[in-house]
Amino acid sequence: MADNNCMTPQDFNENSRLRASDADRDAAASVVNTAMAEGRLTAEEHSDRLDAIYAAKTHADLVPLLEDLPAAGTAAAVVPKPAATPVAATGHHRRIVAIFGGATRKGGWQADPVMEVLAVFGGVELDFRDAVLPGNQVLLKATAVFGGVEVTVPPEMQVIDAGGMAILGGKDIAGASAEAAGPDAPVLRVEGTCVFGGIDVKRKARKSLRRGKGVNVSIENVGRLPAVRIRSADSDD
């Protein structure tokens, strides 16, 4: 049996039994996304191929999904050799896909250094205000095809538009703020591709108690059990 670990790009073919990695599937998906943006695939074909790509187990499963697209002549390059695949210096990689549906991340969720978001006839909502960040910088690669990606960042987060492409769609990136001007401010870099879709990054303050005279907290007995009571400081009861 041939050793697939020693394969060269020229050896890549539909008979390859080498197991596909997440990076392999992401690379194949990028080819399909580009084909959709160029009008080579319909929205339905694009959706069907994406489903098949992320269900693929081996390289052989990926080949027929790419062979009629411009990158087919270099299909081997789309799926890198395992021995040559470097470990990402940024650590974990997260992919969020919403096809004819929605996905939401908010509250105290764990963000990854690199995040890929795909919304096809659907929507994705990311709220970084209370998220646990992996470090000082997050790279968001967002693709919206007849869909939308909404991102909310806290006042102290710096947002950088890292470019992309828009076809009958667009990006709306939050402007700078005084809180985000510090040298230690966390950074969100946004790469976006919009095809009849949009990417919206807005800045909002964190939710907090309504301003006033504060609150009073007391422990009272309700029957035989203690209870915590919270009431406004200017309340008469």
DSSP the chain: ---GGG--GGG--TT--PBPPHHHHHHHHHHHHHHHHTTSS-HHHHHHHHHHHHH--BHHHHHHHHTTSGGGGGHHHHS--GGG-PPPTT--EEEEEEESSEEEE-SS-B--SEEEEEEESSEEEEE-SS-B-SSSEEEEEEEEESSEEEEEE-TT-EEEEEEEEEES-EEEE----SGGGSTT--EEEEEEEEES-EEEEEE-PPP-PPPSS-EEEEEEEETTEEEEEEEETT---
In this predicted structure, what is the pLDDT of residue 14?
56
In this predicted structure, what is the pLDDT of residue 6?
36
Residue ranges of domains in the chain: 4-84, 93-203
Q: Could you tell me the mean pLDDT of each successive run of 10 residues in the chain, 237 residues long?
A: 37 64 81 80 82 86 88 44 38 79 90 91 93 88 92 92 85 82 86 91 77 54 54 55
Q: What is the pTM of this model?
A: 0.53
